[in-house]
Amino acid sequence: MTAEASLSAHQLTHSDLIINGEEVAARSGDAFQRVSPAHDVPVGSYARGDADDVAAAIAAARTAFDSGPWPRRSGQERARVLHRTGELIRREREDLARLEALESGKPITQALDEVDAAADLWEYAATLARHSFGEAHNHLGTDVLAMVVNEPIGVVSIITPWNFPLLIVSQKLPFALAVGCTAVVKPSELTPGMTARLGRLLLEAGVDPGVVNVVTGQGGVGAAMSAHPDTDMVSFTGSTAVGRKVAAAAGAQLKRVELELGGKNPQIICADADLDAALDAVVFGVYFNAGECCNSGSRVLVEASIAAQFQEALVERARRVPVGDPLDRATKVGAITSAEQLATIERYVAEGRQSGSDLLMGGARRPSERGCFYEPTIFAGVQPEMSIANEEIFGPVLSVLSFDDLDEAISIANSTMYGLSAGIWTSNINSALTAAQRLQAGTIWVNRWMDGYPELPFGGYKTSGEGRELGSQAIGSFTQTKTIQLQVGPRTARWVPESGN
């Protein structure tokens, strides 16, 4: 199907909130539309929830947790629902991907990959539903047996961003459900369609009423979810600035928080690396999803002896990246998701120009009859103190820095407030291991970039976040530990002596 045919085939539909297992209108009766950032046409209509709807959703989740069947179901039963959800996501693959491409501006091929990855996460989480267990201690003495059990933490507020609307909710929600939690989910108002569809698929898969509630809306919904006293935890993915506010609101009530925040992720390119492979990974790392990615490789640190050669090859390869309509399967860089984000990118590029760095390519909006597009951009001669080198831009903008030795490269890589991911390209095993040990980041890639697997935990150091998603560790975020001690035989010890002794 051509891009034009795919756009014309899309049906503008309305999605209500999901509260207590039912699709309901917002209490205010209000709704809002999402306009495609690539095509400037409405692509979805959604109920505009507010604090009253949040309160109703949390009440439903609270009741479902406190007295409903979900936390009391066996791991096997919960696993069946999670696995069925993964199957339903795969069934809806084409429609989901087209909706995401329209709402986010993401290229359709990348949206299809995201749907596949999300389904895989639900299926992996299903396995953990049957492998959540504690431990027993039977060597504390002959008169005691102790058990350590993990219980679901309760009602979880889940707040997700616009850049990977199905993947990121799937990094959180199935793991919370696997151990028996209930949830209220708020997607970004820019890309609400994927979560609204997911909520309906969960009902089809057999999740109990009130277990998953979806509140779409704009300002105030996330704040109400973070501060509500009847939730036990907040799981948030987004900017570090907003993450601080979420943590402050949750911290005032001593709620648990899980935060996956920003990144300014470096790739270190050593002179002894496979430079062709590194070039491809650098171009992929910064222009994938138009750079709107917390793991974006937006800094590249190149050994000085090869810097000029690498920069020339980098520009040549970057100029061949197809930019255009996200519904065109040849496109690799689609639209910027919002006019606000486009303005942010333009501000950082202006700062890069003013700082004295060298603009090698791009640096401007891409001419188009409609939509928000930005040219892939490369700055060279960048210094570590420049804003384009140490602040998250969230756009297709690459900063190239140079270094003389590995110690300097690691120092530059660690010089920002972020610590989400980092990588090194080298054929020297000692360099690779040294970097892996000393780089301050939650994920280190060696001779690869931005690969992810459900089995491997994901999260950041420093201001890139708190806690870990994915892997077997993920369910630990949604459980609390209880110790149970049992007396074996009669308790013979006496603190106060018996009378007459």
How far does Cα 79 stand from its chain's mean position? 22
Q: Residue type at 63?
A: T
DSSP H helices, 10-142, are 51-67, 75-91, 93-104, 108-129
The answer to whether the beta carbons of residues 281 and 267 sit under 8 Å apart is: yes
Neighbours of 459 (CB within 10 A): 25
Confidence grade of residue 11 (pLDDT, cut at 50, 70, 90): confident
What is the rounded average pLDDT for all residues in the chain? Answer: 96
Q: What confidence score (pLDDT) does residue 268 get?
A: 98
Q: Residue type at 325?
A: D
How far does Cα 388 stand from its chain's mean position? 23
Q: What confidence score (pLDDT) does residue 488 get?
A: 95
> Quick check: helix, strand or coil at residue 264?
coil
Domains annotated for the chain, with CATH where assigned, are: 3-261+464-484 (3.40.605.10), 266-446 (3.40.309.10)
Q: Which of 100, 103, 258, 260 does the annotation list as catalytic?
A: 260
Instruction: Give the mean pLDDT of 113-120.
Output: 98
Angle at 419 between CA 167 and CA 158, to 5 degrees: 35
- How far apart CA 184 and CA 53 sit, in angstroms, is 11
Among this protein's residues, is 260 annotated catalytic?
yes
Instruction: Give the mean pLDDT of 217-221.
Output: 88
Q: Which of 294, 303, 372, 392 does the annotation list as catalytic?
A: 294
Among this protein's residues, is 181 annotated catalytic?
no
Taking phi first (over 0 means left), then psi (-120 to 50 degrees means alpha), and beta for anything else, what does residue 383 get? beta
Neighbours of 217 (CB within 10 A): 25
Question: In the chain, what percentage of residues exceed pLDDT 90?
Answer: 94
Q: What confidence score (pLDDT) does residue 428 get?
A: 98
pLDDT at 501 over 60: no
pLDDT at 490 over 90: yes
Q: What is the pLDDT of residues 459-484, one digit of tens each?
A: 999 999 999 999 999 999 999 999 99
What does DSSP say about strands 377-380 and 397-403: parallel, antiparallel, or unpaired? Answer: parallel
- How far apart CA 290 and CA 378 sit, in angstroms, is 13
Tokens encoding 123 = 């299926």
Question: In the chain, what percentage of residues exceed pLDDT 70?
Answer: 98
- How far apart CA 475 and CA 175 sit, in angstroms, is 5
Instruction: Give the mean pLDDT of 67-71.
Output: 98
Instruction: Give the mean pLDDT of 249-275.
Output: 96
- How far apart CA 203 and CA 214 sit, in angstroms, is 12
Q: What confidence score (pLDDT) does residue 494 get?
A: 87
Instruction: Give the mean pLDDT of 194-211.
Output: 98
Instruction: Give the mean pLDDT of 390-406.
Output: 97
Beta-ladder partners of 47: 31
Element (H, E) at 283: helix 275-287
> Quick check: helix, strand or coil at residue 194?
helix
